[in-house]
Every structure is written in C-alpha cells, then in structure tokens.
Amino acid sequence: MKKSVFFLGGVILGVVASMVAGLILAPEKGCKTRKKIGKKAEELKDILKNAIKKSSDKVRDIQSNLQSKWHKSKDELADKVDDIEDELGT
C-alpha cells in the first residue's frame, strides 16, 4: 500500500511540475497563461478526485473482505467450540 501511495504522489508531483514548467516557459501572454493554468488545475482536480474515489472504493472493498473473513472465522471457531463441548458432554 505504501508503494502505491508513494507512486501516486510521485505521479501527481511530476504532472504538476511539468505543467508549471511548460506554462512558465511558454511564449504566450499572461492572460492566456493564466487561463491555461486554470484549465490544467481543473484537470488535475478531476484526476485527483478520480484517484481518491478509486482508492476509497479499494479500501472499502478490502474492509468488507476482511470483515467477511473475520465473521466466517469467528463462526467456524464457535462451531468447533460447540463440537468440543458436545464431545466432552458439557
């Protein structure tokens, strides 16, 4: 999980850095550059929203899976305890 977070952070940082460098070095008027920065910021916001949604969905899936396994294991253990109690006659 840590590796994917660092990777995602690196990708985002790389995108932002390349956008800033490209806009600063672009030979255009300030108003056009500001419009481009605004447009790119919106695009980045959408990318981040999608990444956060996917991450949240993945975390929810993992949590659900773990809860399901926990309940299954707990039920199996309770059944085994009942079997042992039956064998011992308690």
Question: pLDDT (tens digit, 9 = 90+) per residue, 32-82?
Answer: 877 887 888 898 889 889 988 988 899 999 999 999 999 999 999 999 999
pLDDT at 1: 59
Q: Please give the model's pTM, rounded to 2 decimal places.
A: 0.49
Q: Residue 67's pLDDT is what?
A: 95
Please give the DSSP secondary-structure letter assigned to residue 89.
T
Tokens 């899976």 correspond to what residue? 65
Distance CA 86, CA 90 (A): 6
The DSSP output letter for 1 is -
